Amino acid sequence: MIKKFLDLGYQPLANKYLKSYKKLSIKKKELYRLTVGFNTKTKLVSLFNKIPDKIMFDNNYPYKSSMSKTMTDSFKKLSVKIKKKFNPKLFLEIGSNDGALIKNFDKNKVICVEPCSNLAKITRGKGYFTYNNYWDLNLSNKIKSKFNTVDTIYSANTLTHINDLNKVFESISNLLTQDGILIIEDPSFLECIKKLSYDQFYNEHIYIFSALSVKKLIHEFDLELFDIEKLDTHGGSLRYFIKRINNNKIKIKKTVSKQISTELKFGLANFMTYKKFGISVKKSKNDLIKIFKKIKNKNKKIIGYGATAKACTVLNYCNIGNETIDYFVDTTPDKSNRFIPGKNIKIKRYKKTLLDNVDYIYLGAWNFKNEIFKKEKQFIKKNGKFITHVPRPKII
Ligand code: JHZ
């Protein structure tokens, strides 16, 4: 049974940056209700309204993983580890985006899977074998008939974006060698609760994983966790290392039982924990609105930094628009001169001078706070302040 614990109101599709400002309507289905539930049996957190993947991941997907040094550094580190520990003969990445990870691997040993053709074009252009397809059983069979099996499969911030998770793992199991390794990484729901980062919910994040839910989910496909790593990326993620249950050559590390028991102790198996989270989110919304109002009453200039999918949720939920935030800056070329969906706020291509005469910056990309603070020393030195809602609404 799926029980609702969060209602973030009517929301536009994140990552659909508008060319000009348009008031979106519920009638025309440009807005959907963003409600979130907890499955008391599977322990999985999911959205109630699921948008078809073909609408979300099209030929014009703006998000590029390579836009942040934090992510490219994290992928580089991971590639060294994978090569050292697992020495893959054939490495498959589901959701290869613009190749931020696979660029660290030998071209002859990599298969990329990417449904967005603008991104698939990038990895193909770099010489990597790329399927421009959604991850499903058809594709898994297609790859199988060409390559037979694959010994290492990796996916970051992608599987939680796919509606039918059973098909996802069936398609993986279909292709993985008997002693093959599956590595997935996604935002951790435990971190999401701790940081009150309700903005992890938007249409693309159909699911938010916990170790508890992943353990249950993969068991049906004779897969099990053998290691879990905690990561700082995307506001606190977990990297799950998975093997076939009958592969006894790999020992299960203590990190697995440790993470599961931490989650159980925190109450991730009980609906009450989720309900409390829902109540805290409402408070967070009111506190953030108060901060913005107070600053605006003093006639101060506020801009946004990082036009993230997450910011789309916050701004629409808290009803904050261009009456409060003058513009957003973002380094992503495909977002520039566009508007935040649902809110009339322009996104400008990042350049340092756009921070001149700015009093406050709302951190849309709060997950890259350290990287941004390092870059914006001058703004901080001039007494510029940041606004964030994570872990609690405050001015930094
Ligand atoms: P970032 C996207 O979410 C969508 P978003 C997706 N659904 C997902 O799961 C995660 O990514 C992984 C900009 N930026 O990573 C770049 C600067 O301008 O938090 C990006 O537009 N200057 C696939 O959108 C944005 O901020 C900087 O110095 O929530 C960051 O987006 C830095 C560091 C970033 O993901």
Question: Which residue owns the Cα nearest ligand 1 atom 8?
Answer: 157
Ligand 1: centre distance to CA 25 (Å): 26
Ligand 1: centre distance to CA 365 (Å): 6
Ligand 1: centre distance to CA 258 (Å): 30
Give the model confidence (pLDDT) of 196-246 as tens digits: 999 999 999 999 999 999 999 999 999 999 999 999 999 999 999 999 999
Q: Give yes or no for residue 36 having a pLDDT over 90.
A: yes
Ligand 1: centre distance to CA 352 (Å): 18
Q: What is the pLDDT of residue 154?
A: 98
Q: Give yes or no for residue 280 having a pLDDT over 90.
A: yes
Ligand 1: centre distance to CA 272 (Å): 31
Give the model confidence (pLDDT) of 83-102 as tens digits: 999 999 999 999 999 999 99
Which of 96, 303, 308, 375 maximizes ligand 1 atoms within 8 Å of its Cβ, making it the mutation to test the pocket? 308
Average pLDDT over residues 47-54: 95
Q: What is the pLDDT of residue 289?
A: 98
Q: Does the beta carbon of 204 lie inside 6 Å of ligand 1?
A: yes
Q: For 58-113, give the DSSP string.
A: -TT----GGG-HHHHHHHHHHHHHHHHHH--SSEEEES-TTSTTGGGS-GGGEEEE
What is the pairing mode between strands 45-47 and 31-39?
antiparallel
Q: What is the pLDDT of residue 168?
A: 98
State the burial class of residue 296 (Cβ atoms within 10 Å of its Cβ: 0-12, 13-18, 19+): middle
Q: Which helix (H) or strand (E) is 129 found in, with range?
A: strand 129-131
State the burial class of residue 330 (Cβ atoms within 10 Å of its Cβ: 0-12, 13-18, 19+): buried
Give the model confidence (pLDDT) of 345-362 as tens digits: 999 999 999 999 999 999
**Band of the pLDDT at 22, cuts 50, 70, 90?**
confident
Q: Does the beta carbon of 157 lie inside 6 Å of ligand 1?
A: yes
Ligand 1: centre distance to CA 288 (Å): 21
Q: Does the beta carbon of 368 lie inside 6 Å of ligand 1?
A: yes
Give the model confidence (pLDDT) of 113-134 as tens digits: 999 999 999 999 999 999 999 9
Q: Give yes or no for residue 21 having a pLDDT over 90.
A: no
CA nearest neighbour of 236 among 263, 270, 206, 275: 263
Q: Is the distance from CB of 331 to CB of 305 less than 8 angstroms? A: no
